[in-house]
Amino acid sequence: MQKLPVGIQTFSKIREKNYLYVDKTEDIFNLIENGEIYFLSRPRRFGKSLLVSTLEALFSAKKELFKGLYIYDKWDWNKKYPVIKLDF
């Protein structure tokens, strides 16, 4: 039985340590492919950080983290996007 990722908000840590992960990559893929402007409003503790962490791993072409997930065979892993560091 897989452990629950209570308090863990990093996609890579969840996947590498084999925590339970509900695959939302189909929704992420559809958001990216449809290319509109989105405002994603979610209440506190509803996965905003995990979503951003998943997007970061996806756009950094960390293919090994997505093995077994919906997006694995649909994403172009040869294309790597530049990482932009935001300073708040």
In contact, 7 and 52? CB cutoff 8 Å: no
pLDDT at 48: 83
Domain holding 33, by residue range, is 11-73
Find out whether 75 and 66 touch, Cβ atoms under 8 Å: yes
Asked whether residue 32 is domain-assigned, the answer is yes
Separation between Cα atoms, residue 33 and residue 29, nearest integer Å = 6
SS3 assignment, position 42: coil
Instruction: Look at the chain and report how many structural domains it folds into.
Output: 1
The verdict on residue 79 lying in a domain is no
Is residue 2 in a domain? no
Spatial separation of the C-alpha atoms in residues 13 and 4, rounded to whole Å: 12
Specify if 84 maps to a domain: no
Look at residue 16 and tell me if it is in a domain: yes
The single-letter code of the amino acid at 70 is Y
**53 belongs to a structural domain:** yes
pLDDT tens for the chain, 88 residues: list them.
Answer: 889 988 888 999 999 999 999 999 999 999 999 878 888 787 777 778 899 899 999 999 999 999 999 999 999 999 878 776 656 4
Q: Whole-model pTM? A: 0.83
pLDDT in tens, 39-60: 878 777 777 889 989 999 999 9
